[in-house]
Amino acid sequence: MNTNGSVKAENDKRDMHRSFYAHVMGGHLTDLSVNIKRWRESKGFSTSEANFAEKIALCHSELSEALEAHRNGVMSGPDGVPQELAGTIIRVLDLASALGIDIEDAIASEMAKNELRPHKHGKRY
């Protein structure tokens, strides 16, 4: 196969993976992010370009809480690993929605890129 054919085949694979992931999400993640944004606004919080760094720090804080919960063996309950991971996702989806990011499209693109990478992305870990 020539270079053009190889590039076309890779683009076709990427498009196939992208379509698959977009299909799997089916708009549900976008709907969730819009609802999270509405909920956040109803509670009087704001998320925008102006406080992007603060919101990223709060995403980090949820992950740190998940780490501490795991270190302490708290695998359930209101401060358990599942709830802290959920908090992380909620904050990320709110941020994406507030900034007008099509998070499903971004995830589909990222996963399509990842699908074409080699085992462990060619790295040791």
Give the interface with Mg ion as residue ranges (CB under 5 A).
62, 65, 84, 87
Question: Residue 32 in contact with residue 103, Cβ under 8 Å?
Answer: no
Closer residue to Mg ion in complex, CB, 65/94 = 65
CB 87 to Mg ion: min, Å: 4
CB 74 to Mg ion: min, Å: 12
CB 62 to Mg ion: min, Å: 5
Closer residue to Mg ion in complex, CB, 22/90 = 90
Helix (H) or strand (E) holding 5: helix 3-25
Q: Give the up-direction half-sphere exposure of residue 74: CA atoms within 13 A in the CB hemisphere.
A: 15
